Structure 1
Amino acid sequence: MKYLKLPVDFSTMIQGKPQQRCAIEESIAQYIMMQITSRYGEVAGRNDFGSDIWELEFNQLIKIYEWEERVRLSLQESIIKYEHRLSDTKVHVSLSEVDTDVDSKKYSEVRRKAIITVTGTITQTGVAFNFNTTLYVSPLSQ
């Protein structure tokens, strides 16, 4: 089965033109990325779809390990609840501080970098699934 590739071009879909398709692995990865980048309540009818990332984005008082664990748990719960094509789902979140303006000799722009890894098994095929992404969040100093 081929899945729709995001973003969907609804104007061509309405005209009956063929849409870009992708394999199940890419479709699952797209769906997980949508969960990572969605705030709670952003998807109508699914108030628990998304992650804690955007609730914690500018929270400077939370410890790194607490941030990692809250985001990990929120993503794991959302993925298990809404991504039924995966089983044995595990989420790992690592947060670090990086200087994103390394070319500047005058200014330093330190940000947090979240590395998110999702592993599991594709239920339909039994094949191992691996997803990795990196997000830059919450400026530490401006």
Structure 2
Amino acid sequence: MKKHDKANVIGRNESIHLFLQLIIMTNFGEYMPEDAFGCRLWEYEFETSIDYKEVRHSVQAALLETITSFESRLYDVKVEVAFLGNQSFSRKVSIRIYGKLAETAEPFEHQQFLFICPKTVTNQ
């Protein structure tokens, strides 16, 4: 068995961040083996007239369900979704995920900003 070069191995927290990003960036049904994997946000990507309060609650609930189903390294998970700024053609969305690491009970936080319509990701 080949030893892994430490430069190629990512840590637990980074792995969780990447997995949460994958969940957020995946539309339901896009991952064939599991239709329940993904984020409801993309169902609204090209909608021109939406009820932001309703969408926020819907996305939060669905994202919480997906994370608790597929990310066993976190527990006591909470999800916050907010639409920021001018809600016109390009909508900026903030997604914050809070929880505790199952292994150590340490607090964990993931924040991601997205622009929908068209799909764009930023770390700021």
Residue in structure 2 matched with residue 103 of structure 1 by the alignment? none
Q: How far apart, CA to CA, are the structure 1 residues paired with 2:111 and 2:43?
A: 21
Residue in structure 2 matched with residue 116 of structure 1 by the alignment? 95
The SS at the match of 2:60 is helix
Q: How far apart, CA to CA, are the structure 2 residues paired with 1:137 and 1:70?
A: 16
Higher Cα Rg, which structure: 1
Root-mean-square deviation over aligned CA pairs: 2.0
Find out whether 1:68 has 2:47 as its counterpart: no
Find out whether 1:126 has 2:105 as its counterpart: yes
Report the count of equivalent residues: 115
Residue in structure 1 matched with residue 45 of structure 2 by the alignment? 57
The percentage of counterpart residues that share the same residue type is 30
2:65 partner letter: E
Residue in structure 2 matched with residue 5 of structure 1 by the alignment? none
Q: How far apart, CA to CA, are the structure 2 residues paired with 1:60 and 1:97?
A: 16
1:33 to 2, 14, 21: 21
Q: How far apart, CA to CA, are the structure 2 residues paired with 1:120 and 1:67?
A: 22
TM-score by length of 2: 0.84
Residue in structure 1 matched with residue 77 of structure 2 by the alignment? 89
The SS at the match of 1:22 is coil
TM-score by length of 1: 0.74
Q: How far apart, CA to CA, are the structure 2 residues paired with 1:48 and 1:84?
A: 15
Structure 1 unaligned blocks of 5 or more? 1-15, 100-108
The SS at the match of 1:70 is helix
Structure 2 unaligned blocks of 5 or more? 119-124
Go from structure 1 to structure 2 and tell me whether the alpha carbon gap of 1:119 and 1:84 turns closer, same or farther (over 3 Å shift). same
